[in-house]
Amino acid sequence: MNDQHPQQPGRPGFQAPGGPGGQPGSGPGQQPPGHGQPGQPGQWQPGQPGPWQPGQGQQPPGYGQAPGQPWQQRPGQPGGPGQPPPGYGPTPGGPGQPGRKSRTGLIIGIAAGALVLVLLATIGLVAALRGGDGDVAASPGGGDAGQTPEQTVQGYLQAISESRATDALGYLDRAPDDTSLLTDAVLQESNAIAPLGGITVTPVRVDDYSAEISASYTLGSEAVTATYRLFRGPDEEWSLSNGTATAGAYSVKGIDITVNGATPEDPQQMEVFPGSYRLDTTAERFAVENGEFTITSPEDYEGGSLSDLEVVLEEESAELFRRLVTEAAEACVASKKLEAGCGLDLPATLDDGTKLEDGTIERSMPPDTKANLKSLEYELSSQNPTLVSTYDYLGSVDVQAGECEVGGRRMRDCEILFGPSFGTPTVDMAAEDPAVEWS
């Protein structure tokens, strides 16, 4: 506290209060009225609170002017006649007024609060990125705006491994039009055949709005490494642009099939998750060979081609086909009519003019024709696999006519050279009562 001494009139630097006019002065060295003069009412005395300083609230009475005297402007001081001097009246921090804090303290407080928020956000982000064992954590449902590209791929594959088809679809940019095989039941069968597991993800490239993530996992005993592509939409959510693959069962057109027990909407364009699948048919008397296939990743075009897939007759059905053809062939051979069927029909007049008598024809199968029937191999039609046929040459038959007319003369036991051959048998094996058609 600085010591203050009353000044006396006539001392150097002193000006009477108010100057020449007797008013409170403001000359060099002038103290405010009432300041530093002991014993005056309203004036500061030793032991009382010190002179008012900026920022300490309400100004003490009498500071800056004499009691009951109008305010006078000092040289260089803002304000003027008719305007209150700076700080006149209630000041910030006074009764009923909000206090004005130091700008430096405010800045320090804001910076400290921001630092706390950054630390909390960092801790939360680390907790979200890390699971309990240090692996990337995946949300139980589809992706959201808070997930990284790595978490999105991890969550997608984790949902597949746990047979959660709806959750897996939530990570995709959009669900495929055909979701008939993108179900929990199909994934359950897939994981029963060859479970998907051991998932690890590694970023390859991550930009503001696109990313490529490398994922390694196993499908049964097969190790897989695949690249998944993602992009970030307007909602800031990362989505997979390549999640499913297309498989085509082109060789089973026209026959009902199932994949892991489910019926695909279009067997030629089947959308499936990465996984293992078993293709079968519900058509009676038919079976599927080489129907097992694996889709290792969304870009596994070879696994989805099903090039080795083949629809065949069940063994009993194959024997049924041979039996039906053999019985039809034997029935045609046994006919005595000119029109016997099976490709064994004879004209009434032969090329050399010989006329045959209907009802007297005798046909028989030579040994090689009988052998061909026993070893008959079948083929399924490429247009309609339920139509079963054979392209094997069955052979010809021997023919005699009990009566004939040669050159106007009637004769008996006429032998016909170069007898006819069997045609091509076809059986619709999907029919309730299959029968042989010849062409």
Q: What is the CATH number of the domain that holds 166?
A: 3.10.450.50
Quick one: pLDDT band at residue 47, thresholds 50, 70, 90?
Answer: very low
Q: What is the mean pLDDT of the chain?
A: 77
Residue 92 is assigned to a structural domain of this protein:
no
From the list 225, 173, 223, the residue with the least C-alpha distance to 201 is 225
Pick the range with the lowest mean pLDDT from 81-95, 380-394, 395-409: 81-95
What's the pLDDT at 17? 40
C-beta separation of 331 from 325 below 8 A: no
Q: Are both 250 and 162 inside the same structural domain?
A: no
Task: Please tell me the distance from the alpha carbon of residue 25 to that of residue 13, in angstroms, as a whole number.
Answer: 12
Q: How many domains does the chain have?
A: 3
Q: Which of 192, 212, 244 is the last residue of a domain?
A: 244
Q: Which of 264, 297, 313 is the last residue of a domain?
A: 313
Q: Put the strands of the sheet holding 257-259 in their side by side order.
A: 257-259, 275-281, 292-295
Residue 6 is assigned to a structural domain of this protein:
no
Task: Please tell me the distance from the alpha carbon of residue 195 to that of residue 400, in angstroms, as a whole number.
Answer: 68
Residue 51 is assigned to a structural domain of this protein:
no
Q: Are both 239 and 255 inside the same structural domain?
A: no
- What are the angstrom distances between the C-alpha of 208 and each of 62, 148, 229? 66, 11, 13
- Average pLDDT, integer, range 123-135: 38
Contacts (Cβ under 8 Å, ≥6 apart) of 137: 128, 129, 130, 131, 151, 154
Q: Which of 268, 296, 313 is the last residue of a domain?
A: 313
Judged against a pLDDT cut of 50, whether residue 155 lies above it is answered with yes
Judged against a pLDDT cut of 80, whether residue 13 lies above it is answered with no
Range of the domain at 309: 246-313
Phi and psi, residue 125, nearest 5°: -65, -45
Judged against a pLDDT cut of 90, whether residue 276 lies above it is answered with yes
What's the pLDDT at 4? 43
Task: Please tell me the distance from the alpha carbon of residue 318 to that of residue 108, in angstroms, as a whole number.
Answer: 90
Task: Please tell me the distance from the alpha carbon of residue 149 to that of residue 230, in angstroms, as a whole number.
Answer: 7
Helical H segments across 289-403, by residue range:
315-334, 367-374
Judged against a pLDDT cut of 80, whether residue 345 lies above it is answered with yes
Residue 25 is assigned to a structural domain of this protein:
no
Contacts (Cβ under 8 Å, ≥6 apart) of 172: 156, 239, 240, 243, 244
Quick one: pLDDT band at residue 38, thresholds 50, 70, 90?
Answer: very low
What's the pLDDT at 303? 83
Residue 403 is assigned to a structural domain of this protein:
yes
- The DSSP letter of residue 74 is P
Judged against a pLDDT cut of 90, whether residue 421 lies above it is answered with yes
Q: Are both 270 and 237 inside the same structural domain?
A: no
**What's the chain's length in residues?**
439
Enumerate the β-bridge partners of residue 409: 406
Q: Are both 322 and 299 inside the same structural domain?
A: no
Q: Are both 324 and 424 inside the same structural domain?
A: yes
Q: Are both 360 and 434 inside the same structural domain?
A: yes
Q: Are both 221 and 336 inside the same structural domain?
A: no
- Average pLDDT, integer, range 76-80: 46
Q: What angle do CA 16, 4, 56 make, to 5 degrees?
A: 100
Residue 430 is assigned to a structural domain of this protein:
yes
Task: Please tell me the distance from the alpha carbon of residue 309 to that of residue 250, in angstroms, as a whole number.
Answer: 9
Residue 109 is assigned to a structural domain of this protein:
no
